[in-house]
Amino acid sequence: MSNKTDWNQVNEWDSKYLLHPFVTAEEYKSCPIERTEGDYLIMPDGTRLLDMFNQLYCVNSGQNVPEIQNAIKEALDRYGFVWDIYSTDYKAEVAKILVEDLLGEEGWAGKVRFTNSGGESVEVATIIARLFTGKEFIATREHSYHGISGVAVGLNRVYAGRSHISRESDKLVKQVPGQGYGATIKCPAPLCYRCSVGHTYPECKSALPDGKLPCVHTTEMFIRNHGVDQVAAMITEPAFGAGTIVPPMEYLPQIYQMTRRLGILMIVDEVLMGFGRLGTWFGYQKMGGGEVKPDIITVAKGLTSSSIGAGAVIVSKEIAKFMDSVRWNHVSTFSGHPIAMAAAVANLKYLIKNDIINKAAEKGEYFGSKLRELQEKHKCVGFIGGYGMFWQVELVKNKETKEPFVEADRNTAFADNPASKPVAMVLNKCLEKGVLLGGFVPNTLRIGASLTISREDMDKAIDALDYALSAVDEMCE
Ligand SMILES: Cc1ncc(COP(=O)(O)O)c(C=O)c1O
């Protein structure tokens, strides 16, 4: 029982025996969580923390949903474990819900292969793309994030997401030697607030005679320059999670059209945006202007609302036909785990039955309007972008000039003191008000609660943000 837990002992073991992310052992302070509830993490002393980053933007249905918990318990009574060559009712049903119920009307989706995580879904997607096309290279974008494993981390371009190590005392930064960046082509990101090809949105829409966004034009030129004959696919997040970029609406349709022109596959990494984060079932549906039909999508996080880890790759009918015609020597022990599949069935049914995706879109309209009020009020808020329960907030020293607090912005490796970053400041101030906020890059807040957050909790988060941004305003010019 939790009330018998010796939390001092837990904290001691936690500090002594674990390798922790993002901090040195000296910097580490354990944050014990006794249980979760709705949008809250509850500490052993009863402190309730409102989770505005939904853990890693992944508990879409909210914490401790009884329907999902009961389904897991029932599955545990039936199954210990069977691996992926056996069929279970749960696994078959998740695949059917994904291909038929969620994507059937669009007509492109063929079949599903399950995985254990988002990063693994990206690995599998790129393997399929390479096998199907017989080509090696994958085009990716600046500030992208796709996971921690070999190919996935090789596709990551957000500097802080490359599994590197850093240390402030001697400014050490070491990227992983030999990490597989090899067969990737790095293209510009649609970061309109700080355009890396030197344009300004929306004027950039008429910069080129054919109406292509300059970032898309450059992407195409980079791929053509490499040689289309060697390029299997372009991968993109519909909105960038870790890099925290909400692209303009033209970006995804134009990237899609580019892939059709070049005859390469389009992989949409829906690991973070899938299952309602942007107020549509999949992020490409929000960002794609109704015309994007991906060749492959990758999912994880929201598939089970993270009640148990599971991911999947959904491939087009054409790719499914090809993969069905061959023997594929590729399996992972836990993929399609019956307990995870039971969680996925229950989670998807819960999202459908309660119309949670549409409700997330409405919540986003309210939350976005409140964020825009903060933008008006605070000197430090340069830009707000987002939909549903995913929001990008750019913090700047000077609104007019867009001068950032941390010059390297998304190209920082976190080698200097994280406490000096505006995001860290906002985070600490919000914590004083019992609100947890996130941000993976130093000048940008990344905000997104569960899709079931109450209006009262949204207001509470906005009040905490208002308080925190006032402190950042004092650092503005
Ligand atoms: C877009 C995207 N792809 C892949 C991943 C990796 O997923 P996982 O951490 O489950 O391996 C993430 C994680 O945040 C992500 O945001």
Query: Ligand 1 pocket, 118 CB below 6 A?
Result: yes
Expressed in angstroms and rounded, the spacing between residue 147 Cα and the centre of ligand 1 is: 5
Structural domain contains residue 217: yes
Q: How far is CA 325 from CA 67, 86, 210, 328, in A?
A: 38, 20, 40, 9
Nearest CA to ligand 1 atom 16: 272
In sequence order, which residues have a C-beta less than 8 Å from that of residue 19 and are 6 or more positions away? none
Interval between CA 241 and ligand 1 midpoint (Å): 8
Mutation test of ligand 1: which of 146, 237, 284, 307 has the most ligand atoms closer than 8 Å to its C-beta? 146
Instruction: Determine the atom of ligand 1 nearest the C-alpha atom of 241.
Output: 16
Q: 437 and 392, same structural domain?
A: yes
Among 333, 353, 373, give the residue marking a domain's end.
353
- Which residue has its alpha carbon closest to ligand 1 atom 7? 118
The pLDDT profile of the chain, 477 residues, written as one tens digit per residue, is 456 899 999 999 999 999 999 889 999 999 999 999 999 999 999 999 999 999 999 999 999 999 999 999 999 999 999 999 999 999 999 999 999 999 999 999 999 999 999 999 999 999 999 999 999 999 999 999 999 988 898 899 998 888 999 888 888 999 888 876 779 999 999 999 999 999 999 999 999 999 999 999 999 999 999 999 999 999 999 999 999 999 999 999 999 999 999 999 999 999 999 999 999 999 999 999 999 999 999 999 999 999 999 999 999 999 999 999 999 999 999 999 999 999 999 999 999 999 999 999 999 999 999 999 999 999 999 999 999 999 999 999 999 999 999 999 999 887 665 656 899 999 999 999 999 998 889 999 999 999 999 999 999 999 999 999 999 999 998
Which sign does the torsion angle of CA 244, 250, 253, 258 carry? negative
Based on the fold, state whether residues 265 and 120 are members of the same structural domain.
yes
Q: Is the residue at 15 inside a domain? A: no
Answer yes or no: do 46 and 81 share one domain.
no
Query: Both 238 and 295 in a single domain?
Result: yes
Same domain, 111 and 53: no
Q: Is residue 20, in this structure, part of any structural domain at all?
A: no
Residue 8 forms part of a structural domain? no
Ligand 1 centroid to 423 CA: how many Å? 21
Position 325 in a domain: yes
Count CB atoms within 10 A of the CB of residue 78. 12
Residue 147 Cβ < 6 Å to ligand 1? yes
Local structure of 111: helix, strand or coil: strand
Query: In this structure, what CATH number is given to the domain that contains residue 218?
Result: 3.40.640.10
Last residue of a domain, one of 287, 322, 353: 353
Are 370 and 235 in the same domain?
no
Closest ligand 1 atom number to CA of residue 57: 14
Which of 40, 65, 44 has the alpha carbon at shortest distance from 54?
40
Paired tokens of 210: 């054919």
Residues 217 and 275 in one domain: yes
Count of structural domains, the chain: 2
56 alpha carbon to ligand 1 midpoint, in Å? Answer: 9
Residue 7 lies in a domain: no
Tell whether 198 and 237 lie within a shared domain. yes
Got the DSSP string for 435-471?
A: EE-EEEETTEEEE---TT--HHHHHHHHHHHHHHHHH
d(CA 34, CA 403): 41
**Distance between terminal CA atoms of the chain?**
53
Q: 232 in a domain, yes or no?
A: yes
* 434 and 349 part of one domain: no
Index of the ligand 1 atom closest to the CA of residue 300: 10
Question: 178 by DSSP, 3-state: which?
Answer: coil
Q: How far is the CA of 5 from the centre of ligand 1 (A)?
A: 32
Give distance in angstroms: CA of 140 to centre of ligand 1: 15
CATH number of the domain residue 441 falls in:
3.90.1150.10
Considering the domain architecture, whether residues 337 and 368 belong to the same structural domain is answered as no
- Please tell me the pTM assigned to this model: 0.97
Instruction: Give the range of the structural domain holding residue 248, as residue numbers without chain letter.
Output: 66-353
Q: Is residue 12 part of a domain?
A: no
Residues 324 and 363 in one domain: no
Sign, Cα dihedral of 236, 237, 240, 243: negative
Could you write out the DSSP letters of every residue in 325-383?
Answer: TS------TTTT-HHHHHHHHHHHHHHHHTTHHHHHHHHHHHHHHHHHHHHHH-TTEEE
CA distances from 212 to 140, 266, 368, 422 (A): 18, 18, 28, 34
User: At which of 326, 353, 380 does a domain end?
Assistant: 353
Ligand 1 contacts CB of residue 448 (under 6 A) = no
Kindly give the number of the ligand 1 atom that is closest to the alpha carbon of 237: 1
CA of 19 from ligand 1 middle (Å) equals 20
Same domain, 390 and 458: yes
